[in-house]
Amino acid sequence: RLTGAQLTAAAIDRSEVLIEVLAGLRRPTDLLGELQAAFVVFMLGQSFEAFEQWKALLGLFAESEGAIDGNVDLFNSLYRVLFTQLQQMPDDMLLLDDGGSSFVVHYFRRIVENGSARPSLAKRAAYLKKLCENRFGESCGDVVEVEEGEDPPVVVDTDAHLLPLLFRLVLWLSPLMPRVGSRRRKARVQQKNIEESEEARRNTPRCIIIRRGQVVQAVQDLVTDLRQVMSPNVASKLKESRKNKMQDFVAVSGMFGVSHLLQLTQTDVSPYLRITRMAQGPTLTFQVMEASLQTDVRRAQKRPKVGSMKDYAQAPMVVLNGFGDAGKKAPHLELCGTMLKSMFPSIDPKTVDLQSCRRVVLFNYDEESNTIKMRHYQ
């Protein structure tokens, strides 16, 4: 049984955990491979599970100062890996909405401070410190200054991440590619298409739907149904864990282009739905009076219709009823209507394909009961 002093030391320094993990690997550098793989999958594949894995490994390295002396080569390689990763990180991962620093800044500061006190790591730490100050805009710990070598790393000030860089690489190589048949795509045509797709992606609202705290099974099923309603612009396979904090979702919202965060919680009174507009707000909180799941609706039908994947390939049309005319309703009701409408992509009647409109979401406001009924038709 551990004493109080041992528990405190284990909470401050997780070197024993890192040493135990390294003992189970064939080579210590395999852990760096896991760190790089998680980062690439998170940046390119936009996987929240990969983000959690990368965050856990980064925190393990940052909080294992006692294991540095016995693994100098591993930490030397770690500084090179983190230098490259920090160059590719967008600003959304470094700063929170309130101007505070995210966990990335905290972990990188600790890693720089741990290496600055050791001559074998001081040079790498100095290079990483310079990049940290360039990205964070402030001091990143007291690091021993060293003279630049013959080929030192170059600090690049860039806001781009891996995906746009890969797009540019394709464009640069496209004029050199041979003809295919009698046609060849021109770079300017590809550039225009990519710019249009990027603009459409930025303007398309996306949401994350999660549950917070202890909830009953019915609320968990409601989360699944809401994700299906908001398809395809939703993180449908997102898995929450108790270790997740709101800062984690805020940190990845900019990377994933998330515009809204929907949280379902439960108290002794009833469940509650909180809708947050990323990243500056506002936040609306609703009490869930009653809800019918898809399984409940199918049980009540004699011939239940089973939807196909085509029904969820396009976002549903949104219809607002009872919210009144613009300028003639209460400010909070006007804000509520605008908020609900902004969760769905806008539709141009002149260019919309009616055959692709397979679903409708209706929000009906009842003034007498002061409630909003949400219905999903397909």
Would 146 be classed as within a structural domain? Answer: no
In 3D space, the residue among 205, 251, 232 whose CA is nearest the CA of residue 316 turns out to be 232
User: Is 27 a member of any domain?
Assistant: yes
The predicted model gives 244-267 an average pLDDT of 79
Q: What are the pLDDT digits (tens) for 257-295?
A: 788 888 888 888 889 999 888 877 788 889 888 888 888
State the DSSP string of 264-305: EEE-SS-EEEEEEETTT--EEEEE------HHHHHHH-SSPP
The average pLDDT across 173-180 equals 36
Q: Average per-residue pLDDT in the chain?
A: 75
* 71 DSSP assignment: -
Torsion of CA 361, 250, 276, 374, to 10 degrees: 20
Longest Cα–Cα distance of the chain, Å, equals 79
Confidence of residue 156 (pLDDT cuts 50, 70, 90): very low
Does residue 145 fall inside a structural domain? no
This prediction's pTM: 0.56
The larger pLDDT score, comparing residue 13 to residue 210, is at 210
Residue 145 pLDDT grade (very low, low, confident, very high; cuts 50, 70, 90): very low
Question: Within this chain, do residues 226 and 343 fall inside the same structural domain, yes or no?
Answer: yes
- Position 160 in a domain: no
Query: Residue 144: inside a domain, yes or no?
Result: no
CATH no. for residue 82? Answer: 1.25.40.550
Is the residue at 148 inside a domain? no
- With 0-12 / 13-18 / 19 or more C-beta atoms within 10 angstroms meaning exposed / middle / buried, residue 368 is exposed
Same domain as 223, residue 353: yes
Residues 6+ apart with CB under 8 A from 320: 337, 340, 341, 363, 365
Task: Identify the CATH number of the domain in which residue 227 sits.
Answer: 3.40.50.10480
Is residue 250 located within the same domain as residue 363? yes
Residue 331 vs residues 198, 321, 326, 334, 336: alpha-carbon distances, Å: 34, 16, 10, 5, 9
Residue 154 placed within a domain: no
Assess if residue 169 is contained within a domain: no
Task: Clarify whether residues 238 and 367 are in a common domain.
Answer: yes
Do 249 and 364 share a domain, yes or no?
A: yes
Where helices occur in 46-160 by DSSP H, the ranges are 48-62, 72-88, 103-116, 119-136
Task: Identify the domain boundary among 81, 116, 136.
Answer: 136
pLDDT of 179 reads 41
**Alpha carbons 207 and 253: distance in angstroms, whole number:** 9
Phi first, then psi: give them for residue 222, nearest 5 degrees. Answer: -65, -35
Q: 204 to each of 198, 259, 274, 318, 343, how far by Cα in Å?
A: 10, 9, 21, 14, 9
The answer to whether 359 and 333 have CB atoms below 8 angstroms apart is no
Query: Is there a single domain that holds both residue 125 and residue 209?
Result: no
Asked if residue 357 has pLDDT above 70, the reply is yes
Domain that holds residue 209: 202-377
The CA–CA distances, whole Å, from 373 to 44, 75, 279, 288 equal 38, 56, 26, 10
Residue 4's pLDDT is what? 64
The verdict on whether omega for the bond into residue 304 sits within 30 degrees of 0, i.e. cis, is no
Residues 45-90: pLDDT tens digits?
767 788 888 888 988 888 888 888 888 889 889 989 988 888 888 7
Residue 334 has what pLDDT? 84
Instruction: Name 33's Cβ contacts closer than 8 Å, sequence gap at least 6.
Output: none
pLDDT range class, residue 359, cuts 50, 70, 90: confident
Residue with tokens 């170059």: 154
Distance, in Å, from the CA atom of 350 to the CA atom of 353, rounded to the nearest integer, reads 9
Q: In sequence order, what are the residues at sequence separation of 6 or more whose Cβ sits closer than 8 angstroms to the Cβ of residue 227?
A: 209, 234, 235, 236
Packing angle, helices 72-88 and 29-45, rounded to 10? 10
Same domain, 211 and 129: no
pLDDT at 10 over 70: no
Reply yes or no on whether the pLDDT at 214 is more than 70.
Answer: yes
Distance (Å, rounded) from C-alpha 378 to C-alpha 372?
Answer: 20
- Please tell me the total count of domains within the chain: 2
